[in-house]
Amino acid sequence: MSRGLAIETSGRLGSIAITVDGAVIAQDSFAHGLKHAAEIIPRIDALLKAAGWHPADIREIYVAVGPGSFTGLRIGITLAKTLAFATGAM
C-alpha cells in the first residue's frame, strides 16, 4: 500500500490531499491571501491525524510545479523537498 501526500500551492486556492495507491482518500483546501505558508503545515498535520497516519507513513509526495505564482510554487516545492528529506519519501 503506497501512501502519498499531494500539495497544490501554485494558484489562488491552495490544497492538500492524502492518497492510497494513487486514489485520493482525504483533501483540504484553503483560500488565497498569502496564507499558503502559514496554513499548510497545520492543515497537513490535521489531515494526517484524521486518517490515523504519522508523517513517516508518507512514502510519496506530489507537488504542483506550475504555471502559477512564483512564491506559491516556491512554498510548495520547498515544502515537498523538506518533507521528503525528513520522512524518506520520494
User: What does the pLDDT look like over 62-88, one tens digit per residue?
Assistant: 999 988 888 889 989 999 999 999 999
Only one residue has cell 496564507, namely 35
pLDDT per residue as tens digits for the range 14-33: 899 999 999 999 999 987 66
Q: Are residues 17 and 5 in contact, defined by beta-carbon separation less than 8 angstroms?
A: yes
Domain boundaries, the chain: 3-87
Q: Which three cell numbers stand for residue 14?
A: 491552495
Is 0.85 surpassed by the pTM of this model?
Answer: yes
- Start-to-end C-alpha separation, the chain: 14
How far is 55 from 83, CA to CA, in rounded Å? 8
Angle at 65 (CA atoms; ends 62, 70), nearest 5 degrees:
135
- Asked if pLDDT for residue 34 goes beyond 60, the answer is no
Q: Does domain 3-87 have CATH number 3.40.718.10?
A: no
Q: How many residues make up the chain in this entry?
A: 90
